[in-house]
Amino acid sequence: MLGRDSRLTPSRLLAAMVLLIFAPSLSSPAAAEKTAESERRTLDCSADPCAALLPGASAFRPSERGDHWEGLDARGEIVGWLALSTDFVDVKAYSGKPMLTLVGLDTEGLITGARVLEHSEPILLVGIPEKALTDFVEFYTAKPALSRFVVGRTLEDNAFSVDAISGATVTALSQNITIVETARTLGAEVGVFSVAEVRPGHFIHEETPWTFAQMLEGELLQRLTVSEKAMGISESQEAYVDLYFGIADPSHIGRAVLGERNYDHHIGKLAEGEYLLVVFNTAPGSFKGSAFVRGGIFDRIRVLQGLREITFRDTDYDNLPDIAADDAPEINEGALFVLRGGRFDPGEPYDLVFLGSRYDKRGAFSREFRQFSATQQLPDSVYHVEANSDEEPWRQAWKSRTADILLLTTFLGLVVLVFVFRRHSMSNPDSAKRLHVASLFVAFGLVGLYLRAPVSVTQIFTLQESALGEWRWSLFLSDPLIFILWLFITGVSLVWGRGVFCGWVCPYGSFNRLCYSVGRRLGLPVFRVPPRIHRQLTRLRYVILFTLCILFFWNSILAERMAEIEPFKSTFLVSAWTRSPAFIAWWLVLFAASFLVYRPFCRYICPLGGGLTILGSHRISPPRRRAFCESCKVCSRDCLPGAIRPDGTIDTLECLSCMNCEATYRSRDLCPPLIGLDQLAEKSSLTAAEEAKRDRLLIEARDI
Ligand code: SF4
Ligand code: SF4
């Protein structure tokens, strides 16, 4: 047990933990390089398993854009496309890194298959078999890419329900988005889908046309100015082109720029997935260029949006001689372009690119081309992106587990009520014990076996990594039950100590505690660790915690593997027959020991318990004690963790909040000094010695 003079004080533990978490120099450069390496990986169908994912294709060739490959049949016709997820989407999985996935799509818009080529998901690397992931991605084969896919149970008629990977929900949610979004974006790029199908939205129109000043202020017109100096024409900073541009589909913008009749005419001609882009220039130069006159191609101007590049021909163009808004400036030239092909997404930012040819003075015909660009993003008040069928993974997770969330929060709420109203809940020692046992059963059955939500030290790794790198709330929110449990743990640990979780809610801790009770009922002997060894052993859990946390920076996979010292995964998440003999043996050792020793894993080994001890080491409201507890010591007989010191005070680090001592403290039938006081009070007359004893007890009955 840790005495007051112990070298391992809560403050020192806290300081060490903070030091550990904010030791950025520990991050591994090798790991960073490895990530960058895999993120740079390009598709090569001569080496990658393209044939397996695109049945019917006998040959493959890279697309002109280079970000996907085409699959061709024996006649040389395209039967589908293949792409690497990292070329199209940026979805980070549980590890904080993307899962490199090869996805196939056919000409009908069906996903022809998906295969994970690389990943750093720890939960899959340790314990959960790779087959679970293979089975998960297999589900998407032959499903329409535009369908709605929900991970977990769903009552929606028109959605596919994909079974989550037990114990790897975040991985499954991320992989769902990775496959679906890659297929859809690939489909939009090759023309199987329009962007509007992939990412629907709508314009918000206003009755009254806006003024020019309003459009500028609201950033519905953007400006791109290129000086004569930048063009290499002269040293003057005068504008060569001073371009204003914007999307003219919203009626209050289109009418303000084109005028009412002109706007109605053009907007009426647009097909599905087409948009109007206005560009006009108030400076003497030209954005239309001479190639337009000669060949009908606008070579000086184009639109870039993500990987998509949109160029214009004369068939997409109409002249715009002036601007309708009264306060608009005189223009030198103007154009109304139609963004065709379903490749433009009004909900995403885009660049208008002006290609300027700069005379470099090396010769009459020697020219150097320079690009100038400006970005526009339509505000949500003008273009609203509809809630995508594939909302963020964490939202899906919360929706699909509503019933589980309710069950868990009800249980946690009841435990909190027990502690908030402990004056009443602990007033009767027998009913307090029954309440505690009931909680142990619910924790083991509901939180562990049914909800399969054991909190683990691996989540401390995630917290540590997020604190030092990219903080992603979405990652924490992706597993609602674990998120709620951590909120609960933080709150109760600060107020009442970690014992509220460890003693009442932790499914494995409860299982251990119940095993110990079964051992007593079976009449098995109790093995008590000698005090000196016990004191040393209690430090072990901090050593394990700190070692794992440091190891995580150097080798996250190894740390996750070592974190299997927690038997939680073997108990609640993974079928025993899929585990290696070493895991099973370790589990059996702990299981057997818990019948003979009171919660051996919790008291000596659990790194999570070590972390929570530090969190709750300065709890605000420990179990109540009185001054006479020091001499009485009855409570210590019922304190199975041995957390009551010889002087009657409680060792916060070892207390598991069973509340036996507080029930005794409140009991006028069990607490000897209180019984003594009552007996003295019942006497009609007291001797001087009795009076002195009563006075002493009354003083010592005050809380300490
Ligand atoms: S010490 Fe670990 S296993 Fe034991 S109750 Fe606490 S968290 Fe659970
Ligand atoms: S009996 Fe021991 S473990 Fe239980 S609340 Fe009291 S000090 Fe903590």
**Which whole-number Å values give the CA distances from 130 to 125, 137, 256, in the listed order?**
8, 11, 59
Per-residue confidence (pLDDT) for residue 66, from 0 to 100:
74
Q: Based on the domain organization, do 262 and 354 belong to the same domain?
A: yes
Between CA 368 and CA 378, with CA 374 as vertex, the angle to 5 degrees is 155
In a domain, 30, yes or no: no
Q: What ligand is nearest to the CA atom of residue 660?
A: 2
Q: Is the pLDDT of residue 36 over 70?
A: no
* CA-wise closest residue to 55 among 85, 79, 83, 84: 79
pLDDT band at 5; cut points 50, 70, 90: very low
In a domain, 396, yes or no: no
Q: Which helix (H) or strand (E) is 697 found in, with range? A: helix 688-700
Q: Based on the domain organization, do 584 and 669 belong to the same domain?
A: no
Contact assessment for residue 244 and residue 332, using Cβ atoms and an 8 Å cutoff: no
Q: Which helix (H) or strand (E) is 355 found in, with range? A: strand 350-359
Q: What ligand is nearest to the CA atom of residue 662?
A: 2
Query: For ligand 2, atom 8, which residue shows the shortest CA distance?
Result: 655
Return the sign of the alpha-carbon dihedral for residues 538, 540, 542, 544. negative
pLDDT digits (tens, 9 = 90+) for 81-112: 999 998 888 887 877 778 899 999 999 999 99
CA-509 nearest atom, ligand 1: 5
* CA-wise closest residue to 318 among 357, 349, 292: 292
Per-residue confidence (pLDDT) for residue 348, from 0 to 100:
87
CA-656 nearest atom, ligand 2: 3
C-alpha 161/C-alpha 114 separation (Å) is: 17
Q: Is the pLDDT of residue 664 over 70?
A: yes
Picking from 48-52, 170-174, 176-180, 518-522, which range would have the lowest pLDDT averaged per residue?
A: 170-174
C-alpha 604/C-alpha 534 separation (Å) is: 8
Contacts of 423 (CB under 8 A, 6+ apart): 666
Residue 186 in tokens: 């690939």
In a domain, 12, yes or no: no
Q: Is 448 in the pocket of ligand 1 (CB under 6 A)?
A: no
Q: Is 489 in the pocket of ligand 1 (CB under 6 A)?
A: no
Per-residue confidence (pLDDT) for residue 308, from 0 to 100:
73
Per-residue confidence (pLDDT) for residue 16, from 0 to 100:
56
Residue 424 in tokens: 């009443």
pLDDT band at 507; cut points 50, 70, 90: very high
Q: Based on the domain organization, do 485 and 456 belong to the same domain?
A: yes
Please give the share of the chain, as a percent, with pLDDT higher than 90.
51
The β-bridge partners of 298 are 312
Per-residue confidence (pLDDT) for residue 15, from 0 to 100:
57
C-alpha 445/C-alpha 641 separation (Å) is: 23
- What would the 3-class secondary structure string for 201-227 be? EEECCCCCCCCHHHHHHCCCCEEEEEE
Query: For ligand 1, atom 4, which residue shows the shortest CA distance?
Result: 602
pLDDT band at 38; cut points 50, 70, 90: very low
Looking at per-residue pLDDT, the higher value among 413 and 370 belongs to: 413
C-alpha 215/C-alpha 195 separation (Å) is: 26
Query: For ligand 2, atom 2, which residue shows the shortest CA distance?
Result: 639
Query: What would the mean pLDDT of 14-31 be, rounded to a whole number?
Result: 47
- Dmax (CA) for the chain in angstroms is 124
Q: Is 128 in the pocket of ligand 1 (CB under 6 A)?
A: no
Q: Which helix (H) or strand (E) is 103 found in, with range? A: strand 100-106
In a domain, 555, yes or no: yes
pTM value is 0.65
Q: Based on the domain organization, do 329 and 341 belong to the same domain?
A: yes
pLDDT digits (tens, 9 = 90+) for 325-337: 999 999 999 999 9
Helix-, strand-, coil-residue percentages of the chain, each rounded to 5:
45, 15, 35
User: Do the strands 159-162 and 148-151 form a parallel or antiparallel pair, or are they unpaired?
Assistant: parallel
Which of 440, 457, 601 should be mutated for ligand 1, with most atoms under 8 A from CB?
601
Residue 580 in tokens: 């290696």
* CA-wise closest residue to 509 among 572, 592, 443: 443
Per-residue confidence (pLDDT) for residue 166, from 0 to 100:
67
Tell the residue number behind the tokens 């329009």, with chain if given: 194
In a domain, 155, yes or no: yes
Q: Based on the domain organization, do 65 and 158 belong to the same domain?
A: yes
pLDDT band at 11; cut points 50, 70, 90: low
Picking from 75-79, 294-298, 410-414, which range would have the lowest pLDDT averaged per residue?
A: 294-298
Per-residue confidence (pLDDT) for residue 22, from 0 to 100:
46
Query: For ligand 2, atom 1, which residue shows the shortest CA distance?
Result: 639
Query: For ligand 2, atom 4, which residue shows the shortest CA distance?
Result: 658
Q: Based on the domain organization, do 184 and 306 belong to the same domain?
A: no
Looking at residue 703, the DSSP 8-state letter turns out to be B
Query: What would the mean pLDDT of 302-323 be, rounded to a whole number?
Result: 87
Return the sign of the alpha-carbon dihedral for residues 428, 431, 437, 442. negative
Query: For ligand 1, atom 3, which residue shows the shortest CA distance?
Result: 509
Which of 485, 496, 508 should be mutated for ligand 1, with most atoms under 8 A from CB?
508
**How many other CB atoms are there within 10 angstroms of residue 29's CB atom?**
7
CA-623 nearest atom, ligand 2: 5
Residue 577 in tokens: 């027959």
pLDDT digits (tens, 9 = 90+) for 435-478: 999 999 999 999 999 998 999 998 898 888 888 877 778 778 88
Q: Is 602 in the pocket of ligand 1 (CB under 6 A)?
A: yes
pLDDT band at 4; cut points 50, 70, 90: very low
Query: For ligand 1, atom 6, which residue shows the shortest CA distance?
Result: 502
Residue 3's identity, in one-letter code, is G
Query: What would the mean pLDDT of 651-679 be, rounded to a whole number?
Result: 90
Picking from 152-156, 487-491, 581-585, which range would have the lowest pLDDT averaged per residue?
A: 152-156
Picking from 58-67, 161-170, 202-211, which range would have the lowest pLDDT averaged per residue?
A: 161-170
Q: Where are the alpha helices (DSSP H) in 5-113?
A: 10-21, 29-39, 50-53
Tell the residue number behind the tokens 């009770």, with chain if given: 517
Calculate the dihedral angle through the C-alpha atoms of 256, 260, 265, 266, rounding to the nearest 10 degrees.
Answer: 0
Q: Based on the domain organization, do 95 and 194 belong to the same domain?
A: yes
Structural domain that includes position 544 = 401-617
List, as one string, the DSSP characters of 137-153. Answer: HHTTTTEETTSEEEES-
Contact assessment for residue 436 and residue 504, using Cβ atoms and an 8 Å cutoff: yes
- Rounded to the nearest angstrom, the distance between the alpha carbon of 657 and the centre of ligand 2 is 5
List, as one string, the DSSP characters of 602-666. Answer: IIII-HHHHHHHHHTTT-SSPPP-BTTHHHH-HHHHH-TT--B-TTS-B-TTT-----HHHHHHH
Q: Based on the domain organization, do 268 and 153 belong to the same domain?
A: no
CA-603 nearest atom, ligand 1: 1
In a domain, 548, yes or no: yes
Q: Is the pLDDT of residue 34 over 50?
A: no
Q: Is 502 in the pocket of ligand 1 (CB under 6 A)?
A: yes
Q: Based on the domain organization, do 72 and 118 belong to the same domain?
A: yes
- Rounded to the nearest angstrom, the distance between the alpha carbon of 468 and the centre of ligand 1 is 26
Contact assessment for residue 172 and residue 165, using Cβ atoms and an 8 Å cutoff: yes
- Rounded to the nearest angstrom, the distance between the alpha carbon of 524 and the centre of ligand 2 is 23
- Rounded to the nearest angstrom, the distance between the alpha carbon of 509 and the centre of ligand 1 is 5
Residue 93's identity, in one-letter code, is A
C-alpha 217/C-alpha 373 separation (Å) is: 19
pLDDT digits (tens, 9 = 90+) for 243-292: 999 999 999 999 999 999 999 999 999 988 899 999 999 999 899 877 66
Calculate the dihedral angle through the C-alpha atoms of 230, 233, 238, 241, rounding to the nearest 10 degrees.
Answer: -70
Per-residue confidence (pLDDT) for residue 30, from 0 to 100:
39
C-alpha 414/C-alpha 431 separation (Å) is: 15
Q: Based on the domain organization, do 276 and 370 belong to the same domain?
A: yes
Residues with CB under 6 A from ligand 2: 623, 635, 638-639, 641, 643-644, 650, 655-661
Q: Based on the domain organization, do 471 and 363 belong to the same domain?
A: no
Q: Is 444 in the pocket of ligand 1 (CB under 6 A)?
A: no
pLDDT digits (tens, 9 = 90+) for 577-613: 777 888 899 999 999 999 999 999 999 999 999 999 9
Domain-ending residue, one of 617, 641, 660: 617
C-alpha 248/C-alpha 246 separation (Å) is: 6
Per-residue confidence (pLDDT) for residue 394, from 0 to 100:
79
CA-650 nearest atom, ligand 2: 7
In a domain, 408, yes or no: yes
- Rounded to the nearest angstrom, the distance between the alpha carbon of 493 and the centre of ligand 1 is 13
C-alpha 37/C-alpha 22 separation (Å) is: 26
Average pLDDT, the chain: 86
Tell the residue number behind the tokens 């790194």, with chain if given: 607
- Rounded to the nearest angstrom, the distance between the alpha carbon of 602 and the centre of ligand 1 is 5
pLDDT digits (tens, 9 = 90+) for 558-585: 888 899 899 998 899 877 777 788 889 9
* CA-wise closest residue to 70 among 19, 33, 97, 107: 107
Contact assessment for residue 192 and residue 105, using Cβ atoms and an 8 Å cutoff: yes
Looking at residue 98, the DSSP 8-state letter turns out to be B
Query: What beta strand segments (E) does 248-332 contain?
Result: 275-281, 297-305, 308-313, 317-319
Per-residue confidence (pLDDT) for residue 23, from 0 to 100:
46
* Phi, psi values for residue 100, rounded to 5°: -70, 115
pLDDT digits (tens, 9 = 90+) for 382-437: 999 876 555 667 787 788 789 999 999 999 999 999 999 999 999 999 999 999 99
Per-residue confidence (pLDDT) for residue 358, from 0 to 100:
64
- Rounded to the nearest angstrom, the distance between the alpha carbon of 19 and the centre of ligand 1 is 24
Please give the share of the chain, as a percent, with pLDDT higher than 70.
88
In a domain, 355, yes or no: yes
Domain-ending residue, one of 353, 385, 417: 385
pLDDT digits (tens, 9 = 90+) for 514-550: 999 999 999 999 999 998 999 999 999 999 999 999 9
Domain-ending residue, one of 198, 228, 248: 198
Structurally, the chain folds into a number of domains equal to: 4
- Rounded to the nearest angstrom, the distance between the alpha carbon of 12 and the centre of ligand 2 is 23
Return the sign of the alpha-carbon dihedral for residues 327, 333, 334, 339. negative
Q: Based on the domain organization, do 379 and 500 belong to the same domain?
A: no
